[in-house]
Amino acid sequence: MIAGFVASFSITLKKAAVFFVPFFAILVFWSFYGLVLSSNNNFILAKRIASLLYLNGNPYLLVLVTGIIGGLAAGIAAILGKQLKTLNQTR
């Protein structure tokens, strides 16, 4: 989240990219990291957590949800960063 905020404050992006670039970046990062950690352990915990979170015990769905949640947080932080930057510039 902090990464998204700082990056967006420093690097200028246009319009929708402000949200979607960090969104996809973190989505991929979180999903991939989670997937690797979990597959090393035969998805034992991922299956359980997936059933806890009403995902029918599907570990891949959990990986996706993880990515989306991380992505959302990053994307929103980026928008915040951009807004702050814009605010800064108009002074």
**CA nearest neighbour of 26 among 69, 63, 62, 60:** 69
What is the nearest approach in angstroms of another protein to the Cβ of residue 4?
Answer: 11
Among residues 3, 7, 13, 49, which is the contact residue for another protein, using CB under 8 A?
49
Residue 38 phi, psi dihedral angles, 5° rounding: -75, -40
Q: In degrees, to the nearest 5, what angle opens at C-alpha 68 toward C-alphas 26 and 58?
A: 120
**DSSP letter at 41?**
T
**Contact flag: residue 34 with another protein (CB under 8 A):** yes
**Contact flag: residue 8 with another protein (CB under 8 A):** no
Interacting residues toward another protein by CB under 8 A:
1, 30, 33-34, 37-38, 40-46, 48-49, 51-52, 62, 65-66, 69-70, 72-73, 76-77, 79-80
